[in-house]
A = this chain, B = another copy of it.
Amino acid sequence: MAADALSRVFAALADPTRRDIVARLAVGDATVGELAAPYDVTVQAVSKHLRVLEDAGLVSRSREAQRRPVHLEAEVFDLMTKWIERYRRQAEERYRRLDDVLRSLPDDVPPTRPADPPQERNPS
């Protein structure tokens, strides 16, 4: 998988078990054992999931005696939200403009492919 931050966040949340863990952590911090309990996988597997979430910056782990309480880092969600909103707004704006154009046209014009847009190269 690609190494950039956004890719790591999306990849981390592409697994339902990891999304479930995030959901659980939104309610409150928990230890690895507590997080593993609901699933029929080993605690090692859950530990691996937590490592993926931690690498994505979604979660942090501290130490408290033998336990490693896991904490949700909600700020990273903003990264995603920003990316999503940018392109959603662009797309919606485009539809709005298309609607305007269609409304302003005479009744039967030949069907066209949308004109090649200005080739600005967008950052991912």
How many copies of this chain are found per oligomer? 2
Task: Say whether chain A's binding surface is mostly helix, strand, loop, or mixed.
Answer: helix
Chain B nearest CB, measured from A114 CB (Å):
5
Alpha-carbon gap, A120 to B91, bound state (A):
37
Across-interface contacts of A94 in B (CB, < 8 A): 26-28
CB pair B4–A16 under 8 Å, yes or no, is: yes
Known A7-B19, A10-B13, A19-B83; further 17 A-B contacts with Cβ < 8 A: A1-B14, A6-B19, A7-B15, A7-B16, A8-B14, A10-B10, A11-B11, A14-B14, A16-B124, A19-B124, A20-B124, A25-B91, A26-B87, A28-B114, A72-B87, A74-B95, A80-B84
